[in-house]
A = this chain, B = another copy of it.
Amino acid sequence: MKEITQKLREFTAERDWDQFHSPKNLIMALSVEVAEIVEHFQWLTEEESYNLDSNKLEKIKEEIGDVIIYLVMLADKLGVDPIQAAKEKIEKNRKNYPEKIAIGKANKYKEL
């Protein structure tokens, strides 16, 4: 992740694109990239979504790359470490959803 952050700083500086990368703009771009993944799944059944053909999977992989790129640029601008943020959130979720209570609570889950 740190390597990617560094690569993206260089990439942006070389092209003088930092002027476009306000946090407000970056979150918009991130939402657009995520929607490009949604587009691949919108007409598939859940079962089909587990069994993508290699052509579609390749395109989705590239868009997952785009999502990471904009997320890293946004987090970098805000001074947030995304991996650390995820770790802390997982710990918080562990407390909020104790496993003994959560197991098999499908209806509960649907209200999360």
A residues near B (Cβ < 8 Å) are: 1, 3-4, 7-8, 11, 14-17, 19-20, 22-25, 27-32, 34-39, 41-47, 49-50, 52, 57, 60-62, 64-69, 71-72, 74-75, 77-80, 82-83, 85-90, 92-94, 97, 99, 102-104, 106, 109-110, 112
Known: A19-B106, A34-B34, A41-B23. A85 touches B99 (CB 8 A): no
Interface of A is mostly: helix
**Do residues A31 and B29 form an inter-chain contact, with CB atoms below 8 A?**
no
Most chain B beta carbons < 10 A, residue from A52, A64, A67, A85: A64
Q: How distant is A33 from chain B, measured CB to nearest CB, in Å?
A: 9
Contact yes or no, B49 A23, CB < 8 A: yes
A84 and B28 alpha carbons, distance in the complex (Å): 23
